Chain A
Amino acid sequence: MFSAAALAILVTMLLVLIRAYKGPTVYDRILAVNSFGTLTMLLISVYGFLTDRPEFLDITMVYALINFIGTIAVSKFVRFGDLAPPVPENDPGDI
């Protein structure tokens, strides 16, 4: 049963990749890659169950963190062209 789920996830990944390839704007691609990350999390977990090694869930957790930070960072980079916050030049900042 897990292999059926893994197969479905793989097919879905293929469909999502098609959107990432076609996507007219860069935002479509980011959206597709974000979904791809979620699907990767699912695939890692399902693979862990498939091979009876639930330690894979730790990797899933780390992947969830990376996926979140990565999507936010890429969105911000595309929006500002820079990862530093857009502060005025003479603003000393918080600390």
Chain B
Amino acid sequence: MEMLIDIASWVLLLGGSVFILIGAIGLIRLPDMFSRMHGAGIIDTMGALMLFAGMMLQAGLTMVSVKIFLIILFLMFTSPTTTHALARAALDAGQEPIRDDDPTDEIELALMRELEEERKRLSKT
């Protein structure tokens, strides 16, 4: 049993390491500031989540786990807020996201219509 928990925590730690590396690669490779936010998002969500989960498994059911859980909770509340604040600041300063307005427009419109009907149905009931 202890062996299994050890293996699981190793897998989580290694997975988290891989994901933060991918996030950093995204931060470097992606073309503009708004798409780089998605790379930072990977570090903030999946990478941190997996690394902290691996540490939690190593710590077991102790006060340490509770603290890590609190940290995770705090991170999950704050990271979208900071991203949003940064995006607003960048938009206000006149930064324009690179757009690719070609292939999925029709899918988008069809799905939008569907969504609108769904909403009307919801508001009637």
Give A contacts to B, CB under 8 Å. 1-2, 4-5, 8-9, 11-12, 15-16, 18-19, 25, 27-28, 30-32, 34-35, 38-39, 41-42, 45-46, 49, 54, 57-58, 60-61, 64-65, 67-68, 71-72, 75-76, 78-79
Contacts and interface: CB of A to CB of B under 8 A. Distances in A.
A71 B82 contact: yes
Interface string B37-62: 10010011001100110110011000
Sorting the interface of chain B by its residue count into under 10, 10 to 19, 20 to 34 or 35 or more gives 35 or more
Contacts of B18: 8
Q: Does more than half of chain A's interface fall in helix, strand or loop, or is it mixed?
A: helix
A28 to B, nearest CB: 5
Nearest to B93: A79
Nearest to B63: A54
Given A15-B25, A61-B67, A4 B90 contact: no
A68 B83 CA distance: 10
Given A11-B21, A15-B25, A57-B64, A72 B44 contact: no
